[in-house]
Amino acid sequence: MGLKEKAKDILLNRPDPKKISRGALVTMLQTFLQPARCFGTRSEKRFSLAAYRHGSKFFKGGRSVFTSLFTPVEIIYAFELLPFPLEPLGALAASFGISTQLLQETEKRWLSSDFCSFHRAFLGACTLGLLPRPLFLMATSHACDGTMKSFSHVAHLVSKPLFFIDVPYGDQREAVEYAAVQVQESVSEIESITGRKLREDLLAKSFGYSNKMTALLSKMQDARKASPPVVYGSETLNLLMVWAMFAGSRVGVRILESYNNEIEARLKRGFQGVAAGKRVLWLHLRPYFSGSIMSMLEEEFRAVIVAEEVNTPVEEYLDVSNPWESIARKLLSRIWSGSIENRLKNIGRIIESHGIDGVVHFSHWGCRQSNGAVRMIRDTVAGYGIPFIELDGDCVDPRNYSEGQYRTRIEAFFEIMERR
Amino acid sequence: MYTAGIDIGSVSTEMVILENAGPCRRFIIQTGISSRTAAERLFSLLDEDGGVERSDITRTVTTGYGRNAAGVGDRSVTELSCHARGAWAVDHAVRTVIDIGGQDSKVISVSPDGRSRDFIMNDKCAAGTGRFLEIIAKTLELEVAELGALALQADRGVKISSMCAVFAESEVVSLRAEGHPREKIIRGIADSIASRISGMVHRVGLEPPVMLTGGVAKNSGVVLALRETLGVDILVPPDPEFIGALGAAHIAAEEALKS
Amino acid sequence: MKEKLIFTAYQKEIERTSSKKIGLLCPYTVEELIDAAGFTPVRLIPHEPNMRYADAYLPGTLCSYLRYVVDLSIAGELKGFRGLVINHSCDGARRTLDIFNTYMPDISTFFVDTPKKIDPYAVSYFKKELEKLKVYLQEISGVEITDLALAASIARYNENRRLLQEMYDMRANNPGAMNAQELLRVLDLNSTGPKQTTNKMLSDLLSARGPEKNGKRVFVSGNIFDTLPLLEYIEGCGGAVVGDDFCFGGRYFPVAVAENEAPLDALARRYLSRVPCGRMINFSERIDYIIEAAQKTMSAGVIYTSLKFCDNFLVDFPLFRERLDRLDIPSLFLESEYFSLRSGQVRTRVEAFLERL
pLDDT tens digits, B53-96 = 899 999 999 999 888 888 889 999 999 999 999 999 999 999 99
Cα R_g (chain B), whole angstroms: 19
Element (H, E) at C334: strand C331-336
Residue A162 has pLDDT above 50, yes or no: yes
Write out residues in chain B with pLDDT < 70, as ranges. Answer: none
Residue C263 has pLDDT above 80, yes or no: yes
Residues of B in contact with C343 (CB under 8 A): 161
Q: Specify whether domain B1-91+241-259 bears CATH 3.30.420.40.
A: yes
Residue C117 near chain A (CB below 8 Å): yes
- Per-residue model confidence (pLDDT) at position A30: 55
**Range scoring the smallest mean pLDDT among A217-221, B101-105, B241-245, C158-162:** B101-105
How many CB pairs below 8 A link A and B? 39
- Encode pLDDT of A389-407 as tens digits: 999 999 999 987 888 889 9
* Probe site for chain C from B107, B203, B204 (most C CB atoms < 10 A): B203
- Per-residue model confidence (pLDDT) at position B167: 77
Contact across the interface for A416 and B115, Cβ inside 8 Å: yes
Residues of C in contact with A178 (CB under 8 A): 115, 121-122, 124-125
Q: What are phi and psi of A79, to 5 degrees?
A: -90, 5
The answer to whether residues A412 and B78 touch, using CB atoms and an 8 Å cutoff, is yes
Residue A22 has pLDDT above 60, yes or no: no
ipTM of predicted assembly, 2 dp = 0.95
- Encode pLDDT of A328-377 as tens digits: 999 999 999 999 999 999 999 999 999 999 999 999 999 999 999 999 99
Mean pLDDT of chain C: 93
Residue A271 has pLDDT above 70, yes or no: yes
- Per-residue model confidence (pLDDT) at position B42: 92
Closest among C108, C113, C73 to C94, alpha carbons compared? C113
Residue C53 near chain A (CB below 8 Å): no
Query: What mean pLDDT do residues C135-163 have?
Result: 97
Query: What mean pLDDT do residues C174-202 have?
Result: 93
Residue C56 near chain B (CB below 8 Å): yes
The answer to whether residues C222 and C305 touch, using CB atoms and an 8 Å cutoff, is yes
Rounded to a whole number of angstroms, the distance from the CA of C145 to the nearest CA of chain A is: 22
Q: Tell me whether residue A368 is exposed, middle or buried, using C-beta atoms within 10 angstroms of its C-beta: 0 to 12, 13 to 18, 19 or more.
A: buried
- Encode pLDDT of C47-81 as tens digits: 988 888 999 999 999 999 999 999 999 999 999 99
Contact across the interface for C55 and B205, Cβ inside 8 Å: no
- Per-residue model confidence (pLDDT) at position A11: 59
User: B68-76: long-range contacts at Cβ-Cβ below 8 A with a sequence spacing of 24 or more?
Assistant: B69/B8, B69/B35, B69/B36, B70/B6, B70/B8, B70/B35, B70/B36, B70/B38, B70/B39, B71/B35, B71/B36, B71/B39, B72/B6, B72/B36, B72/B39, B72/B40, B72/B43, B73/B4, B73/B6, B73/B39, B74/B252, B74/B255, B75/B252, B75/B255
Contact across the interface for A372 and C58, Cβ inside 8 Å: yes
What is the DSSP secondary structure assignment for residue A135, as one 8-state letter?
S
Q: Tell me whether residue A113 is exposed, middle or buried, using C-beta atoms within 10 angstroms of its C-beta: 0 to 12, 13 to 18, 19 or more.
A: middle
* Chains contacting C (3+ CB pairs below 8 angstroms): A, B
Rounded to a whole number of angstroms, the distance from the CA of C55 to the nearest CA of chain B is: 5
Q: How far apart are CA A68 and CA A150, in angstroms?
A: 10
Q: How far apart are CA C43 and CA C265, in angstroms?
A: 24
Q: β-pairing, B22-30 with B12-19? A: antiparallel
Residue C333 near chain A (CB below 8 Å): yes
Contact across the interface for A169 and C95, Cβ inside 8 Å: no
Q: How far apart are CA B185 and CA B179, in angstroms?
A: 10
Element (H, E) at B50: none
- Per-residue model confidence (pLDDT) at position A24: 52
Sheet of strand A82-85: strand arrangement: A82-85, A64-67, A136-140, A162-165
Residue C257 has pLDDT above 80, yes or no: yes
Q: Which positions 57-76 of C are in contact with A (Cβ < 8 Å)?
A: 57-59, 61-63
Q: How far apart are CA A123 and CA A376, in angstroms?
A: 32
Superfamily of domain B93-236: ATPase, nucleotide binding domain (3.30.420.40)
Residue B10 near chain A (CB below 8 Å): no
- Per-residue model confidence (pLDDT) at position C3: 52
Query: Considering CB atoms only, which of B77, B80, B123 is closest to A405?
Result: B123
Partnered with residue C43 across adjacent β-strands are: C24
Residues of B in contact with A404 (CB under 8 A): 65
What is the maximum alpha-carbon separation in chain C? 58
Query: What mean pLDDT do residues A186-209 have?
Result: 97
- Per-residue model confidence (pLDDT) at position A33: 53
What is the DSSP secondary structure assignment for residue A299, as one 8-state letter?
I
Q: Which one is predicted more confidently, C345 or C10?
A: C10
Residue C318 near chain B (CB below 8 Å): no
The answer to whether residues B211 and B238 touch, using CB atoms and an 8 Å cutoff, is no
* Probe site for chain B from C55, C61, C340 (most B CB atoms < 10 A): C55
The answer to whether residues A256 and A243 touch, using CB atoms and an 8 Å cutoff, is no
Domains B1-91+241-259 and B93-236 share a fold: yes
- Per-residue model confidence (pLDDT) at position A19: 45
Residue A17 has pLDDT above 70, yes or no: no
* Chains contacting B (3+ CB pairs below 8 angstroms): A, C
Element (H, E) at A17: none
Q: Tell me whether residue A411 is exposed, middle or buried, using C-beta atoms within 10 angstroms of its C-beta: 0 to 12, 13 to 18, 19 or more.
A: buried
- Per-residue model confidence (pLDDT) at position C270: 97
Q: How far apart are CA B244 and CA C4, in angstroms?
A: 59
What does the domain layout of chain A look like in residue ranges?
Answer: 3-419
Residue C269 has pLDDT above 60, yes or no: yes
- Encode pLDDT of B121-149 as tens digits: 887 777 788 888 888 898 899 988 889 88
What pTM does this model have?
Answer: 0.90
Residue A9 has pLDDT above 90, yes or no: no
* Chains contacting A (3+ CB pairs below 8 angstroms): B, C
Residue A25 has pLDDT above 80, yes or no: no
- Per-residue model confidence (pLDDT) at position A238: 92
- Per-residue model confidence (pLDDT) at position C5: 56
